[in-house]
Structure 1
Amino acid sequence: MGELAKEANVSKRTIDYYTQLGILTPERSDSNYRFYSDEAVETLHLVAQYKELNIPLLEIKEKVELFHTSRVEQEKVLKYTQALSKRMEYLETELKEMKPMLDSLSEEQQKSVLSKMSTQSVTLAKLLMVLFT
């Protein structure tokens, strides 16, 4: 707690008060020692900015909670988009391999293959071909 107080340029008493209000949430060691993550410094800087704007502490608490919730949501979205990107790379490879095979078919054969695919699949395949060419 002392290190956090120094790093954020606040008193230990302030950290205790913010912890009691729920603005800061310490983790506990096996010996029940409180320790704060690097996120706590960021939170204290955020609180200081809000205090300069004369925002009440309870409102600051709500803003801090929203800030941390947004970050969690951003991380989820980032993970999802990374997974989606990998799937798109796989589809790109598959389509590039499939295109010469489709091109080698007669027009009737192409229509036959396309008729066996769902409308969404055909639309997606065409879209991906446009994106990747």
Structure 2
Amino acid sequence: MKNYYKINEISNLYNIGKDSLRYYEEIGILSPERDTNGYRLYSIQDIWKLNIIKDLRNLNMPMEVIKDYLENKTVENTLDILNEEITIINKKMEQLKVQKNTILSRMKSLKEDAQEKNIENITEVEIPERKVIMLNDGFSRDEEADFLIKKLHKKHEDKLYLLGNNYVGVTMSLSKINEKVYNAYTSVFFILDSEDKNYDRILPKGKYLTLSYRGGYEKTGHFLPLMLDYARERGYRVMADPIELYRIDVHETSSAEEFLTELQMLVESN
């Protein structure tokens, strides 16, 4: 077994960038020697330190904690660091449990949505209030919607999982719809779990006219006038910008034929 290893060997063995190795040297964790050509030579002592660093960094433990531990290593300190590892692992397990339940919930709703039979029929439904995180920003093209959805997701990525059970939706300008413009959107949003406390808006409860369809989003422009006619014929007044809810979209399938979009209008009797 060799007593010393060059930086290329260490970098490849541990999949650690050379810049990181130099940083560890800079802050005093590693102390490689130099050969006659000035190349760094890492000792067995450096290697066991790297083993510890790699394990603790995999748990996102701060470098200052790792450095302090390596400089003051005792049985008591080792027990402390192991307890810290257990705490971090338990937290990760809880996060994974939440993520697993989120995925299972989305799988259930996705199967139900894929088998939805009530297509292209207007239905009156009482919907409870829904907690959402929303980004208000006017736009008019599907590509812009995708960008804003990603922007919203980036802002709240700590609590959103794009393949999770968060339905994505947009609101459409009612005034523009009345002018027969059907692609003027006013916001994008994610619907959160009813128990979530980290929301910034609420979609109001009430009676909604709903209609689901499969296929490309251009169909929205066909069905919205039908829903407005339905509301007028029954003496309803539309109370808010209609909603376009993406129950199955590009995040689940590349086939537009499998898309499932639900239009929703909050209404009240005149």
Band the TM-score falls in, shorter-chain normalisation: 0.3 to 0.5
User: TM-score normalized by structure 2?
Assistant: 0.23
